[in-house]
Amino acid sequence: MADPFSAAVDAQWVDIPMPGGSPRAMPAWWARPAAGERPRAAVLVLPEVFGVNGWVRSVADRLAAEGYAALAISTFWRTAPHLDVGYDEAGLAAGREHRDQVTTDQLLSDVAAAAAWLQAAHQGDGLAHKPLGCVGFCFGGHLALLAATLPVIAATADFYGARVSTFRPGGGSPSLELVPEIPGRLWCFCGDADPLMPAEELRAIEAALAAHPEAGHRLLIAPGAGHGYMCTARGDYHPAAAQEGWAALLELFASSL
């Protein structure tokens, strides 16, 4: 996929060192504003089950064009560090195979390592002591809710992160039960025509967020939108809902980071 923002940003693959003296590193796509421009803040991008593919990289590039430093991390780096599969049945099956091997503890460790890299390696950008944003899509949206429990994350956009009311990666009580532990703001996005997020799931999310009105959490439901509506490469892409979702994401980050 061509990157329409490549002229406005500096972007490249980087390797994120992992804690504990691990000989392996986590691949990530690193995008920042064009040379000479200081990022306004940094954002972590958590991909769908299809990996850090062209569309996910374009999200990071688009954030960089808005003035943010963005790091899209490979959440499947332990089993498929360079996963990049298509939006078809074969790609979905391959992605789900690796998705099912991710645990919550692994994800939190990965996000902490990415945050440490951002803050330590880019002190000259003014990122050393700034809180981070986080955005995730599909399974990455579910993981973004988990990442939101870390103190370093100040604002999280969870796009259609399914099964948060019934499941937690690696086992345990449903991820939605962690909402009281989130120190920052969590905005959950989904379409009202998403078959992976039925009405009972949306009610559970709404209730969990509403229980903490002081936190500034929100549930934003896009009329007529299905699963994956933000992604231009998916059959459920919904231009109007995607435009509104992107505007809300920028509002969240501008007011929180």
Active site residue 98: no
- How many angstroms separate the CA atoms of 137 and 45, rounded? 8
Residue 1 has pLDDT above 70, yes or no: no
pLDDT of residue 249: 98
Catalytic annotation, pick one of 61, 110, 158, 194? 194
For residue range 32-69, list pLDDT tens digits in order: 998 778 899 999 999 999 999 999 999 999 999 999 99
Tens digits of per-residue pLDDT, 154-175?
999 999 999 999 999 999 999 9
pTM metric for this prediction: 0.95
Catalytic residue among 188, 227, 231, 236: 227
For residue range 118-137, what is the model confidence (pLDDT) as tens digits? 888 777 788 888 889 999 99
The answer to whether 165 and 72 have CB atoms below 8 angstroms apart is no
Is residue 122 annotated as a catalytic residue, yes or no?
no
% of the chain residues with pLDDT over 90: 87
Q: Mean pLDDT, to the nearest integer, of 175-182?
A: 98
Domain CATH number, residue 219: 3.40.50.1820
The answer to whether residue 1 is domain-embedded is no
Residue range 76-102: mean pLDDT, rounded: 95
Looking at the structure of the chain, the number of domains it has is: 1
Residue at 73 is within a domain: yes
In a domain, 87, yes or no: yes
Q: Considering 134, 138, 188, 231, which one is annotated as catalytic? A: 138
Is residue 81, in this structure, part of any structural domain at all?
yes
Residue 167 is part of which domain span?
A: 9-256
Active-site residue flag, 227? yes
**209 CB-near residues (< 8 Å, 6+ apart):** 179, 186, 188, 217, 218, 219
